[in-house]
Amino acid sequence: MLSVTWLLIAVPLASFLVLMLAGRRADAWGHWLGVAASSVVALIGIGAFFQMLGRDAESRSESVRLFTWISGGDLQVDAGLLVDQLSLTFVLLVTIVGALIHVYSVAYMENDPRRRMFFAYLNLFIAAMLLLVLADSYLLLFVGWEGVGLASYLLIGFWNHKPENATAANKAFVVNRTGDFGLIVAMAIMFTQFGSVSFADVLGGADGASTAVLTAIGLTLLLAATGKSAQFPLQSWLGDAMAGPTPVSALIHAATMVTAGVYLVVRSGAIYEATDDARLVVAIVGAITLILGAIIGSAKDDIKKVLAASTMSQIGYMMLAAGLGPIGYIFAIFHLVTNGFFKAGMFLGAGSVMHAMKDQVDMRRFGALRTAMVTTWITFGLGWLAILGVPPLSGFWSKDKIIELAFVGEGWQPWVFGLTALIGAGITAFYMSRLFFMTFHGKARWTDEQHPHESPLLMTVPMMVLAVGSAFLGLFLAAGNRFQNWLEPVTGTSGELEPVLAVPVLITLTLALVAAGVALAYWMYWRNDVPTEAPPPSLAVLAARNDMFQDSVNRAVFQIPGTHLTRTLVYADAALVDGAVNKQATGIAAFGEASRRFQSGKVRSYALLMLLGFLVLASIIVVGG
Amino acid sequence: MSPVNFVYLAAVLFAIGAATVLLRRNAIMAFMGVELMLNAANLTLVAFSRMVGGIEGQIMAFFVMVVAAAEVVVGLAIIIAVSRARQSISLDEPSELKG
Amino acid sequence: MVSPLLFWFVAFVTVIPALSLLFARKPVHVAAAVVLVMVGLAVAYVALEAPFLGAVQIIVYTGAVMMLFLFVLMLVGVDKTESLKETITGQRWVALTLAVGLGALVISVVSRLPLSVNEQPVVGEPAEVASWLFGDYVLVVEVLGFVLISAALGALVLTHVPRLYPKRTQAEVHAARIAAGANPVNQAFPGVYARHNALDAPALDPEGNPIESSVSRVLKVRGQTIDGSEFKGDTQARRRELGAKEDDQ
Amino acid sequence: MDILTILIAVPAVAGVVLLTVRPLRAYARQFALGVAAIELILAVGMLMAFDRSAAGTIQFSQIDSWIPQIGASWAVGVNGIGLSLIMLAVVLTPLTMLAGWNEDESESRRAQYYGLMLLTLAFTVGIFAARDVFLFYVLFEAMLVPLYFLIGSFGGEQRRYAAVKFLIYALLGGLIMLVAVIALYFAGPGGEQAFLTANLTGLTYDAPWIENLLFLGFFIAFAIKAPIVPVHTWLPSVVETARAGTTVLLVAVLDKVGIFGMLTLVVTLFPGASTRAAPVIIVFAVFTAIYGALVAIGQDNMYRLVGFASVSHSGVMVLGIFAFTRTAIEGATFYMLSSGLSAGALFLLIGFLVKRHGTASVRVYGGLQRVVPVFAGTFLIVGLTALALPGTSPFASEIMVLIGSYEATRWGAIVATLSVILAALYVLLMYQKVFTGPTPQAMEPTTELSLMERVVIWPLIAAMLVLGFVPALAVDYFKDPSAAIVVSVEEAGL
């Protein structure tokens, strides 16, 4: 199976092309083609996984060289795939979650006339995402990296007849591009330093390079990661990206694409290993984002935006973990996988709710949906418990381990990171419970013409599968350190780590904080009535509702100066640069006008000038000669 | 007395001719100035011919005379044509050369 | 060598009339003065061992060119005098300075040259000149022939005034007159038959009244006509006689 | 006669015939397209015959005496770079002819337009093939004549202004270059082949300032053509008013003459001065890349927007050339090709839009994606190539330039990379304003991309994708020439 890994990319890409080129003829069966393509890649992925399991741990990594891609000057880049434990983990996550969401979308998008295009874009996304994780060089990774950005752009703007959706799509693409800038610069540095941009050469040569160079590479890669993974300070696009159809939010903006930044950092582990500064920055970025996302999530009333903020926050956890070294990588990826399941499950649940509530997203208009939508309630509830970290559900095994790891280290770092992660867990419990209670419990706040009903099987079955995953995947993978053993050959290991506080104490503390968060939410949003109009906010809530003013900051720092700059430049180009040219022309014309006075048309003046000229020349010759 | 004095004389005549061209507005007068300049040149040619001892200078002067005769014919014809068209032969008037 | 007396004579005869080009007001005077210059130059040529050229100078310049100038002067208005007032600012002084400068430059250049004078020059006798012209320079002479012919043709073309309208026939002239309201009948001629058959007397109509239009307008303006009516009485007297006779019959 | 001479002569003769022979006017389009097709076939034949393993040497070389008194020769020949640019010209010309097929105009004007296009093609091929500096100069200037009429006679209201501006700019550059060409003659070996580039390469100069001045003379002319800020202002005026076909030829092909000249004349003839000037030129190039992109963002007129975008791209190309690394130079050369295809396709698409609604102002448009999805999709794909999406040839070339020049100029490369972000802004903002949002009433009757239009655009897209996935198809032609340039610069630097 490993030798046909290229099919993983080729199949969905071919499906995308067929769906695009077939046009309206494919409207009848296009979505099933999309589902088939994603299912086939899921099967190939699973096949490859079992084939790899059959090998020794050492020989599980395999490179597949496809063809020479760019061969320009000293830059030689092959299109090649790197299949190892890390990339295969992602392949499984992407293909399985992807296939489930494809199935879900068949029902969710049933009434959309452009359903075929939707599936085409989803397939494009799958292809690009798999290219991203399977690439064996940074440059090829970049192709997938921008490819998922493109798919994300297309899907966020899927309903682009609404101007705000089109703007959101643009915003996502441009912010991502800002991150990509970092990746390009990183590749430039790598090429200058190592003469290559393939993982093998760069990561293999990292030992011999100077720390300054590696720090520069680390920081620029981090910039790329923050863009793609919606980390501080490039987090602003994710909330707006919820304008896309909900399955997209589930697949791209929760489970897979946004985690690519974590993948990039983990994949470049060898570089971060060698540079403490860059690693520290990664951890700081993660810590900031996890708190930021949690706070924002607590104040939003839009169910999808709460989940988006939650995604940001959870990826913050992963980043924080990735900033902690090899053992952190493993749990970053572990959390990434579990988060992929329960977050996708919850997004699909949210989609199911919206489906039932005629696309209402305001949680203040929900309430008491438990009875109307039992399956959704159960599956969502499992996801909720999982993200809270309630044992023995998935989140407990991944997130709590990250909190533990955050307490590892010396000096101020364990205390700052650890407490941040700990407090983040409490806030997470609060806002996720708030979401859950506001939606499914309390009093019904919907209007009469809405008739909540359970979604069709095509939608609920994927939700059930994901819920099962949310519940038991963590336990399954954590048992006997399965996941750790699986990934260690790729990420390396950093031996036994001892947190500054004892592990049982940490677990107790975490659970206590989670319980407190749940209790607070219960008291505020289940026991008490929730007003259907948001109450006038306090300053803190206002800030959180406005995404901590990130858009205002962006507007003040980039957009408004940028707009002024471009306007000024446009004006200056016309008035100054072009103006200078025209001024010159005017000057020449004025000179001509002045010299016209000599051209009086009077023969005698001309004769006079001729004689003068002759005399001057002759004198020069006579005197000079 | 050396024939070179005739060259000086020719220089004086040439200067007078040039000044005439520059100063007189009447086209015929200016034209006469041109003729005077031509003659001054001829005088130079002949004087130098005498000094060198050959005859080529005289031949040259002869040619100048012939060409000058032709030139006078055409020039005066032009003056007549202009005077018919404009009722004037002042050099200051035809300002179509004005740029 | 040239006699100094001859040189100074030539100098005066040329320079002083030449100055009239600058200062004389009437073009005719100038033309006459330039004739004198040309003659002076002819003398100079002879003095410089170029007798043929001197003759040609007289023939061509005084005889042909300057006469042509005079003709043209007459054509364009011989009585015009030109104001010497300068119209272009600064032209006069700059021009004079430049002209003096030009002369000075040439003189200074020539005076600095080391010039020797050949003691045995070839004398420009007609035969000598002819042998050169029709020997070495025959091609040039032929070309000059073309030049002269072209110049002659050019002068013809330039002075030729094309007919602006086609020539009118007699019939057309007549028709135009009638159209303009002229009397198609012959006008009466002046003079009273057998009494005063001269141009100064108007003709008489059958009534015996004078026809004023028959007398030349010019004579009338000059007051050189006589009153036709004086013949009227005479005529009537005669008619009475005749009429009476007829009445008698 | 050699193939290159034929390639120059066929469109030149055909153009003159079309302009002069009256009965042909009724069939001007068919005739011109036929000639362009013959040209394309001939060029493809030449491409087949080209020995790729010796891409660095001049092939199909022909040197005949032309004006031996001043040492000018009719010397033509191509290496890999010249060949690929000739291919670009002969591919784009028939496509632009097809794109303007249904233009509503009188027969005589049509004949004039197509005749001028053929002449332009002839001069362009000649320039890319010229191996003689004097011949190059003559063609460089002669090209202005058909272009002047193409801009000045066909297009929008301001076309006369634009044409005169273009002419003055180009002539100014050309005359400065003429001075340098003459001076070069005296610096060179003289004789009957004094202007052959081969004879002028590797000269030693009495003093560095002589070489510097010569360098400057050539460089300014090419900088105007490229164009580089601040001598770029003719470009927006021209693209705003000229017909889409003219614009495509001008921006996609003829602007490349500037970059081509820098690469094959400036750097090759004056490697010493080029090295000395490189730091300054890189500053200008990087500034151009950013400035063009920023101004593009603020444009309302789509033609101007793409015009400024291509100004920005020229900045990147010049950066690549003057970084003097093999990767960057190959990237810059490849970028000429890619950006020519990309900008050409974009201009054609905007032309199609303008034909439907009569204006290039984005303010008028909106919500077209719902009405004409194929058009929108095609536009988006072409737009994505313009913002260098990975997998397209502009990306492969741009990344080569950026990565390759980092070694030579760290900050230059980093700042130039910012233009990548800005490219996303101007392309996507344009797409957003034109194709997304609610559909205004006036946009409802917009017609979908016609078959003819698809035939024009889709091959360009296909070419960009193929070259994006297998850049070697083109880059192999640039390897040896680029290596030679780097070697010559390194030798001069020692």
Task: Report yes or no: A167 at the D interface, CB cutoff 8 Å.
Answer: yes
Q: Who among C44, C69, C120 is closest to B53 (CB)?
A: C120
Q: Average pLDDT in the A7-31 region?
A: 85
What is the total count of domains within chain A?
A: 3
Domain of D353, in residue numbers: 271-494
Would you say residue A410 has pLDDT above 90? no
Place of tokens 């005076």: C111
Q: Tell me if ipTM is over 0.85.
A: no
What residue has token string 């032009």? Answer: B78
Q: Which helix (H) or strand (E) holds D139?
A: helix D133-142
Side chain identity at residue A258, one-letter code: V
* D122 in any annotated domain: no
Whether B97 sits inside 8 A of A601 (CB atoms) is yes
User: Given pLDDT bands bounded at 50, 70 and 90, which one contains residue D1?
Assistant: low
Average per-residue pLDDT in chain A?
83
- Gap between the Cα atoms of A235 and A81, Å rounded: 30
A31 C-beta neighbours (distance < 10 Å), count: 24
Residue A26, pLDDT above cutoff 50: yes
Among partner residues C15, C48, C151, which is closest to B50 by beta-carbon distance?
C48
Nearest to A227 by CA among A277, A182, A291: A182
Give residue A341's pLDDT. 86
CA count, 13 A, side-chain hemisphere, C225: 23
- What residues does D64 pair with on adjacent strands? D74
Q: What angle do CA B37, B42, B44 make, to 5 degrees?
A: 95
- Per residue in A492-501, pLDDT tens? 776 667 777 7
Cβ-nearest to C88 among A605, A612, A618: A605
Which residue has better confidence, D120 or A554? D120
Sequence length of chain D is 494
Tokens representing residue A68 in the block: 């020479």
Please name the amino acid found at residue D307: G
- A541 and A568 together in one domain: no
Do the domain assignments include residue A73?
yes
What is the mean predicted confidence (pLDDT) over D385-408?
88
Q: Which comes out higher in pLDDT, residue A539 or D467?
A: D467
For an interface test with A, give the residue of B28, B78, B93, B97 to mutate (most A CBs within 10 A): B97
pLDDT (mean) for D109-121:
90
User: How many structural domains comprise chain D?
Assistant: 1
pLDDT value of residue A494? 65
Task: Find chain A residues with C-beta within 8 A of D391's C-beta.
Answer: 143, 147
**pLDDT confidence tier of residue B95, bands split at 50, 70 and 90:** low
Contacts of A593 (CB under 8 A, 6+ apart): none
The answer as to whether A221 is a domain residue is: no
| pLDDT above 80 for A607 | yes
Strands in B6-90 per DSSP E: none
Nearest to D96 by CA among D285, D241, D247: D247
Cis preceding linkage at D394, omega within 30? no
Instruction: Answer yes or no: do A86 and A160 share one domain.
Output: yes
CB proximity list for A579: less than 8 A, separation 6 or greater = none
- Contacts of residue A248, defined as CB under 8 A and 6 or more positions apart, other chains included, come to A122, A152, A155, A156, A158
Q: What's the pLDDT at A83?
A: 84
Same domain, A261 and A372: no
Other C-beta atoms within 10 Å of D280: how many?
A: 10
Residue C244 banded pLDDT, cuts 50, 70, 90: low
Looking at chain A, the whole-number percentage of residues with pLDDT higher than 90 is 1
Domain contains A244: yes
Residues comprising chain B, all counted:
99
Q: Is residue D174 part of a domain?
A: no
C52: which chain B residues are within 8 Å (Cβ-Cβ)? 58
Give the domain range for residue A467: 281-545
Q: Is residue D233 part of a domain?
A: no
What residues 601-620 of chain A have any CB closer than 8 A to a CB of chain C? Answer: 602, 604-605, 608, 611-612, 615, 618-619
In chain B, whose CA is at the least distance from the CA of A607? Answer: B22
List of domains in chain B: 4-88 (1.10.287.3510)
Residue C249 binned pLDDT confidence (cut-offs 50, 70, 90): very low
Percent of residues, chain A, with pLDDT higher than 70: 96
Answer yes or no: is A215 within a domain. no
A571 domain-assigned: yes
D38 lies in some domain = no
Confirm whether A303 is domain-assigned. Answer: yes
CA dihedral D399, D401, D406, D408 (to 10 degrees): 170
Q: Are residues A465 and A351 in the same domain?
A: yes
What is the per-residue pLDDT across B31-50, written as a single tens digit (0 to 9) for each?
Answer: 999 999 999 999 999 999 99
Q: Which residue has the higher pLDDT, D493 or A489?
A: A489
Given a cut of 60, whether residue C246 has pLDDT beyond it is no
Domain boundary among A485, A513, A545: A545
CB distance D202 to D211 below 8 Å: no
Amino acid code (one letter) for C7: F
Q: Which amino acid is at B31?
A: F
d(CA D160, CA D147): 12
Q: Does a structural domain hold residue D446?
A: yes
Given a contact cutoff of 8 angstroms between Cβ atoms, the answer to whether B46 and C123 are in contact is: no
A530 CB contacts (<8 Å, ≥6 apart)?
A364, A367, A438, A442, A443, A445
Please name the residues between 103 and 142 in chain A that touch chain D, using a CB distance below 8 Å.
Answer: 117, 139, 142
**What is the C-alpha to C-alpha distance for residues A603 and D143, in angstroms, rounded to an integer?**
40
Query: Which residue, D396, D387, D108, D61, is CA-closest to A79?
Result: D396
- Is A293 found in the same domain as A156? no
- What type of residue is C15? V
Contact C18 B16 (CB under 8 A): yes
The per-residue pLDDT for range C131-176, each reduced to its tens digit, is 999 998 999 999 999 999 999 999 998 888 877 788 888 888 888 8
